[in-house]
Amino acid sequence: MAIARFPSIVLDCPDPHALAEFYGKMLDWRIEVQDDWVEIRADYGQCISFQRVEGYVPPDWPGQQSPQQMHLDVVVDDLDEAESAVVGLGATRHEHQPGETFRVFLDPAGHPFCLCLT
The string of pLDDT tens digits covering residues 10-34 is 999 999 999 999 999 999 999 999 8
Q: Who's near 91: CB < 8 A, 6+ residues apart?
A: 22, 105, 106, 107, 108, 113
Which pTM was predicted?
A: 0.82
Q: Kindly list the structural domains of the chain, giving each domain's residue range(s) and its CATH number in brackets, ordered by start.
A: 9-54+68-117 (3.10.180.10)
The string of pLDDT tens digits covering residues 80-112 is 999 999 999 999 999 999 999 999 999 999 999
Query: 109 near 57, Cβ under 8 Å?
Result: no
Instruction: Determine the longest span between alpha carbons in the chain, in angstroms.
Output: 44
The string of pLDDT tens digits covering residues 47-84 is 999 999 999 999 988 888 888 778 889 999 999 999 99
The string of pLDDT tens digits covering residues 48-58 is 999 999 999 99
